[in-house]
């Protein structure tokens, strides 16, 4: 028995229709995995840029001294 979650999305559109999204558990799992991968990428990129900024600051201080 495959369980289905039904989300009703209220769209203020041309005729104000009700759209119904039927989400199966596998779809929900793939969505959460995609969001997780996106978050991991975001964190990695932000950390790398932060490290690069720190390196630039250290180099500037060395050039001053």
Nearest to 31 by CA among 60, 62, 5, 65: 5
Domain count, the chain: 1
Can you give the pLDDT at residue 32? Answer: 82
d(CA 38, CA 27): 16
d(CA 38, CA 46): 12
Write out pLDDT tens, residues 4-54.
555 444 444 444 444 455 667 777 778 788 888 888 888 899 899 899 999
Query: Could you tell me the residue range of the domain that residue 40 belongs to?
Result: 5-64
Can you give the pLDDT at residue 21? Answer: 54
Sorted by sequence, the CB contacts under 8 Å of residue 19 that are 6+ apart come out as: 8, 9, 11
Note the pTM of the prediction, 2 decimals.
0.45
């Amino acid at each position: 028995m495959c369980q289905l979650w039904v989300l009703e999305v209220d769209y203020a559109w041309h005729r104000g229709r009700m759209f119904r999204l039927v989400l199966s558990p596998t779809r929900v799992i793939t969505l959460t995995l995609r969001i997780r991968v996106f978050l991991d990428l975001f964190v990695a990129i932000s950390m790398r840029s932060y490290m690069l900024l720190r390196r630039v600051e250290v180099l500037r201080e060395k050039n001053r001294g």
